[in-house]
Structure 1
Amino acid sequence: MSQHSQFALLGTRRFLPFFVTQLLGAFNDNVFKQALILAILFKLNVSGDRSVLVNLCALLFILPFFLFSALGGQFGEKFSKHALIRAIKMAEIVIMLVGAAGFLLNNLPLMFLALFGMGTHSALFGPVKYSILPVALRENELIGGNALVEMGTFLAILAGTIGAGIMLSSEAYAPLVGGAVVLVACCGYLASRFIPHAGAALPGLKLDWNIFRQTWVTLRLGLGQRPAVSRSLVGNSWFWFLGAVYLTQIPAYAKEWLHGDETVVTLILTVFSVGIALGSMLCERLSGHKVEIGLVPFGSIGLTVFGLLLWWCSGGFPQAAAPHDWLALLGHGQAWWVLGSILGIGVFGGFYIVPLYALIQARTAEDQRARVIAANNILNALFMVISAIVSILLLSIAGLSIPQLFLVVSLMNVAVNSYIFKIVPEFTMRFLVWLLGHSMYRVEHRGLERIPDEGAALLVCNHVSFVDALLIGGAVRRPVRFVMYYRIYDLPVLNFVFRTAGAVPIAGRNEDLLVYDAAFKKIGEYLRNGELVCIFPEGKLTGDGEIDQFKGGVARILEENPVPVIPMALQGLWGSFFSRDPAKGFFRRLWSRITLVAGAPLAPELASPQTLQAQVEELRGARR
């Protein structure tokens, strides 16, 4: 597995044209939407309540996600993805021409029509945007690709919002906005022309033009996926609920609680967006280039902690005769706590959202992926509308302050994610595995690319500590089914992890014949299903750091299931807290560096216990 930086993807045609296309689309959405809102508030001579018109803008942009996401999901399955993207980007040019005409003519209905059109454009683009990534990228690039997309999206939102404000500050704002949105749309279309061919996943799909029926069918398809996927959809939408709450309240929070002007709003939006981008970028490094859903609980914890910190440090900010600008704000120590909390929310939001997107893409069948992502977009829109309703109820009716609203949604985050992690304990299990590999140990990997990306294989490894399975499971890209001594399997806390991971408890033939036979039956079932199984042929933990004699169980497994065998070795674990070294200590080997090495695959007929023991001893070397 190549350990390249995710930024190397920006140098490939597989990714760069798509990245630029989606970046320009997100930028254009926000330039036009924000410019229209600012024009309504400050430029246009309109009759009626301006705040109602601003809320109408939000409605017109989000309504198409309810109406047309399901149709976008069908399009994403039926048509070639690269051709569909080009058609959608061509439509964006037409929509922006309408919007530009609206600005030049001061025609509000034309602007509203263009805004609805841009919402429709985004609703149709979303499913193909995320379903093309697993086609264009390799498995070990998926987390990095999603991180770049999320980083680009939030920075485009920020740049579009700031750009619109700059253009609206000019008296000649109409030609500036009109020219900019048309030019960006044209650039987006040109970038889409370089996206490589990506064929249709389900060309025979019959389109259902009944948008209400198909929306319901699409939602059922998404929520009917395996629990890890369906609850990831819920978690993804919950993130957009939180994001909508924070982003919507930032202007009022900056004015009423920080006593700042519009530059303070821009500063907070910048910090939040940079936080999301930073968290997204760190995901690949923290996940080891694989889809690591253990980061999701980590992100959830951070969202709650920094949300509570934002509530805690929001009161008593000094008020001046005139509103602070952003430089004056930074002169107050309390402001740094506020900005640090907002940055933390953004960073941990990146940890939370990127692995969820990657999991949805990786674990959904290719001929359903676009429609499942369409279901996700529908849920996102629904949760964002619910966030607005909840905010109105809590602020206007319950009489809460904005910081108290942040407190409530932070506590709600605990409840929602506790439900998700209870239904899908794999999230918690992977978090514990990830935490172990990033706290007590620094794990180096060598040769793990020799483990096949698909198909059955048997992994054999020396047995040094109680956490060998956790360290191996956290390093290998694919799920691994471990065979382990039943007394280790039954250890408190670890039993939850082993059980969730589908580990196989085994006892000696003379200890418990039923457990012994059931273990081999389960191993055979896993291998026939094309999964990875890992055994520790010594049958017990080493008592002196040396490799004990390999037992004959491996021969029985291979006789019944002739699959490739991959020898592996753990180096540096002897003497750690979880080993049986009499001189071990918790702090003596804290943060110790260990190595997991994989050797070349062996054909099953060559993999005798003696040969495998010699291979594992050679891989381990002198470092116990």
Structure 2
Amino acid sequence: MSHNQYALLGQRRFLPFFLTQSLGAFNDNVYRQAIIGMLFWLGVSSADKTLYTNLAPALFILPYFLFSALAGQIAEKVEKSTLIRITTAMEIAIMSLAAVGFVTQNLIVLLAALFCTGLQSTLFGPVKYSILPAVLHPRELTGGNGLVEMGTSISILAGMIIGGMVFSTAGDSGPWVAGLLVVTLAVTGHLVSRAIPKAGAGAPELTVRWNPIPESFAVLRLAKKQLAVRNAVLGVSWFWFVGTVLTSQLPTYAEVNLGGSATLYIFALALFSVGTGVGSMLCEKLSARTVEIGLVPLGAFGMTAFMLDLALTRTGAATLTGLDVAGFLQQPGGWRTVVDLLGIGLFTGFFVVPLFALIQSRTPKSEMSRVFAGLNIQNSGFIVLAAVLGLALQLPSFELGGVRVPMPELDIPQVFLALAIANAAVAIWIFTIVPEFLMRFLSWVLVRTLYRLRPGGIHHIPDEGAALVVCNHVSYMDALILAACIPRPVRFVMYYRIFNVPVMRWIFRTAKAIPIAGAREDPALMQRAFDEIDAALAEGEIVCIFPEGALTRDGEISAFKSGVEKILERRPVPVIPMALRGMWTSMWSRRDGRLARMRVPRRFRAQVGVVADAPLDGMQVDAAMLEARVRALRGDAA
């Protein structure tokens, strides 16, 4: 069992796939940049350059609109490693065609191969993310997605650099070098893909429907079936919108506003890419190996803050031109711009990685490839919209149906400012619709600020299916601490007076906690609670109860009440004993009867242990047995 994301790079279930997708992203960008390099090397007319710059993005993205629904169905029906090998074999054929285009210097052949590259990427897209939940445990999803996003970002950057250098360094041999390079990379990717172990098919019985239009709407509806997944999909598409607007402006921004040469544009792009990679890699550490969607608001507002600063750093044209990287860094505001680009990338990683992990963790495996196909269709629309809008905002006007439509004619810093404001507005809108994102952010900040969590045995929590978690009850923070350690969403059952604590009430309600009262206090509320618990277990959810029935007053574990037995009589699901260690001396406990004063702990960010044991058969346990298990787990670390 790996203890961090880097250990995945040494395991066959992940490494061959990681290398395959990284090589694919690298080769795509080598190819596209090599075409641009060839056009400049040939000294073609402006008309031919315009033809490429207009046709190339459209040809690459068109297959996503046409074939994503079909790709999603195929990825659902076919065994995943087999499909990856098929797509990488397609890449060899496509890049062989591209090599012919380079050698013959035929732009039409190169554009045809570019369309086929888009088709191959369309087929690979749904399996790229749907394979991760098939080979990784839920607690590894954030780390695995972080590695994939890091690999993709660095591969794209490296591909652009290498592809752009082919014709400038190889000279007359450029066409042959370019053709040989893209074919060699494709062959290497295919050979590596043959080491990917079998990962099964999501829905092998699925009947593939070939009509692209109704099936495109079908996969889009599938992606919107669950509210949290629907808005995660929207968030990922927004990430592509922001990234497209930002990166498409960088070449001109680097030249006009930063006063740089072509190398400064590559430097700026590298800063954004490296920042994204670092942010993606940090997600696992910050989330404690859970799917922590609380990082999404942090990422969104961090992106906004750094984009605002970038917009305000250079508001006009540079006074110097032709600066290299060293020269730029010596100018006023140079290092500030570096920090802004790194910061935007860093918080972009915080934003997008948990969203991918959320989609994977909450989508049925039999629907996941089609959900990602729907995501790809939506992403394509957002990318096209971003490209058109980024250009239109800088025009004085344009003609539509014979009518001249005025436009704001923004300069690039003003585009960045508008993007920052739009990003904040979209984030607030999403978090208002799905308050779970903001709730998880607040609870994540609260828990990580006050405690250093030391989870153990969390792998005993089942990856799917119903389970009942039982734990000792020490403080008002217990539910938030357990939620921060358990990789799946948990329905907590809590005493209604704790549920109604000001401020915390909103968090508990948003997390769909179940309030309960004693039979003498409110028998109707108690019965509703038991009914809701049974309904949640019937839906395959995890429910957590504190069988003591109240917070401990002396730090010791009280006798477990019979309510747990009543739950298991109705639905005997697996039971996971858990124990909290070190919480008695923390804030929010009843130690010394001074809860009202919310005592500062003796040691800031004290260590808190969260320990889980192997599941027990719900038909063979009682309250006394579970109490003994929890006592043994906690030990003397009250």
Q: How high is the TM-score relative to the length of structure 2?
A: 0.92
Partner of 2:281: 281
Does 195-204 or 130-139 show the bigger shift? 195-204
CA distance in 2, matches of 1:453, 1:493: 31
The amino acid that maps onto 2:294 is G
Q: Report if the CA contact (8 A) 1:568-1:599 is conserved.
A: yes
Three-state SS of the structure 2 residue aligned to 1:395 is coil
Given the alignment, which residue of 495, 500, 517 partners 1:485? Answer: 495
Partner of 2:530: 520
Partner of 1:183: 184
CA distance in 1, matches of 2:598, 2:382: 51
Name the CA shift for 1:540/1:136 in 2 (closer, same or farther; >3 Å). Answer: closer
Does 188-197 or 379-388 show the bigger shift? 188-197
CA distance in 1, matches of 2:421, 2:199: 43
Partner of 1:368: 367
The amino acid that maps onto 1:45 is V
Three-state SS of the structure 2 residue aligned to 1:595 is strand
Partner of 2:254: 254
Q: Does 1:622 align with 2:636?
A: yes
Displacement, 1:260? 0.7
Partner of 1:141: 140
Three-state SS of the structure 1 residue aligned to 2:283 is helix
Name the CA shift for 1:615/1:17 in 2 (closer, same or farther; >3 Å). Answer: closer
CA distance in 2, matches of 1:55, 1:43: 19
Displacement, 1:46? 3.3
Q: Does 1:495 align with 2:495?
A: no
Three-state SS of the structure 1 residue aligned to 2:45 is coil
Three-state SS of the structure 2 residue aligned to 1:579 is coil
Partner of 2:599: 585
CA distance in 2, matches of 1:558, 1:420: 38
Q: Report if the CA contact (8 A) 1:89-1:185 is conserved.
A: yes
Displacement, 1:41? 4.3
Name the CA shift for 1:318/1:481 in 2 (closer, same or farther; >3 Å). Answer: same
Three-state SS of the structure 2 residue aligned to 1:439 is helix
**How many residues in Structure 1 have an aligned counterpart in Structure 2?**
621
Displacement, 1:315? 3.3
Displacement, 1:129? 1.7
Partner of 1:405: 415
The amino acid that maps onto 1:200 is A
Does 549-558 or 101-110 show the bigger shift? 549-558
The amino acid that maps onto 1:207 is V
Name the CA shift for 1:416/1:107 in 2 (closer, same or farther; >3 Å). Answer: same
Q: Report if the CA contact (8 A) 1:85-1:192 is conserved.
A: yes
Partner of 1:440: 450
Q: Could you list the runs of 5+ residues in structure 1 that have no partner in the other structure?
A: none
The amino acid that maps onto 1:350 is G
Counterparts of residues 453-464 of structure 1 (less than 5 Å): 453-464=463-474
CA distance in 2, matches of 1:174, 1:512: 81
Name the CA shift for 1:467/1:260 in 2 (closer, same or farther; >3 Å). Answer: same
Partner of 2:105: 106
Name the CA shift for 1:115/1:604 in 2 (closer, same or farther; >3 Å). Answer: closer
The amino acid that maps onto 2:590 is R
CA distance in 1, matches of 2:211, 2:540: 40
Does 550-559 or 64-73 show the bigger shift? 550-559
Counterparts of residues 607-618 of structure 1 (less than 5 Å): 607-618=621-632
Three-state SS of the structure 1 residue aligned to 2:281 is helix
Partner of 2:305: 305
Identical pairs, percent: 49
The amino acid that maps onto 1:149 is V
| Cα-Cα RMSD | 2.2
CA distance in 2, matches of 1:57, 1:607: 65
Name the CA shift for 1:37/1:212 in 2 (closer, same or farther; >3 Å). Answer: farther
Displacement, 1:605? 6.4
CA distance in 2, matches of 1:584, 1:491: 14
Three-state SS of the structure 1 residue aligned to 2:47 is coil
CA distance in 1, matches of 2:582, 2:505: 24
Q: Report if the CA contact (8 A) 1:309-1:341 is conserved.
A: yes
Partner of 1:174: 175
Displacement, 1:336? 1.2
The amino acid that maps onto 1:299 is G
The amino acid that maps onto 2:218 is V
Partner of 2:611: 597
> What does the per-residue CA deviation read over 1:240-266, in whole Å, with 9 as the maximum and x for residues that have no partner?
000001110111111111101111111
Displacement, 1:318? 6.0
Q: How high is the TM-score relative to the length of structure 1?
A: 0.94
CA distance in 2, matches of 1:523, 1:400: 55
Q: Does 1:72 align with 2:71?
A: yes
CA distance in 2, matches of 1:535, 1:135: 30
Partner of 1:83: 82
Partner of 1:215: 216
Q: Report if the CA contact (8 A) 2:142-2:290 is conserved.
A: yes
Name the CA shift for 1:193/1:416 in 2 (closer, same or farther; >3 Å). Answer: same
Displacement, 1:11? 1.9
Does 104-113 or 213-222 show the bigger shift? 213-222
> What does the per-residue CA deviation read over 1:9-29, in whole Å, with 9 as the maximum and x for residues that have no partner?
222222222222211111111
CA distance in 2, matches of 1:68, 1:496: 43
Displacement, 1:474? 1.3
Counterparts of residues 121-160 of structure 1 (less than 5 Å): 121-160=120-159
CA distance in 2, matches of 1:28, 1:569: 50
Three-state SS of the structure 1 residue aligned to 2:393 is helix
CA distance in 2, matches of 1:310, 1:587: 40
> What does the per-residue CA deviation read over 1:369-408, in whole Å, with 9 as the maximum and x for residues that have no partner?
2111111111111001111122123222312121111111
Partner of 2:403: none
Does 311-320 or 375-384 show the bigger shift? 311-320
Does 240-249 or 426-435 show the bigger shift? 426-435
Q: Report if the CA contact (8 A) 2:279-2:350 is conserved.
A: yes
Q: Report if the CA contact (8 A) 1:464-1:574 is conserved.
A: yes
The amino acid that maps onto 1:183 is T
Displacement, 1:485? 1.2
Three-state SS of the structure 2 residue aligned to 1:454 is coil
CA distance in 1, matches of 2:212, 2:573: 48
Name the CA shift for 1:602/1:68 in 2 (closer, same or farther; >3 Å). Answer: closer
Name the CA shift for 1:519/1:206 in 2 (closer, same or farther; >3 Å). Answer: closer
Partner of 1:37: 36
Displacement, 1:201? 2.9
The amino acid that maps onto 1:338 is T
Q: Could you list the runs of 5+ residues in structure 2 that have no partner in the other structure?
A: 396-406
Name the CA shift for 1:23/1:521 in 2 (closer, same or farther; >3 Å). Answer: same
Partner of 1:234: 234
Q: Report if the CA contact (8 A) 2:585-2:601 is conserved.
A: no
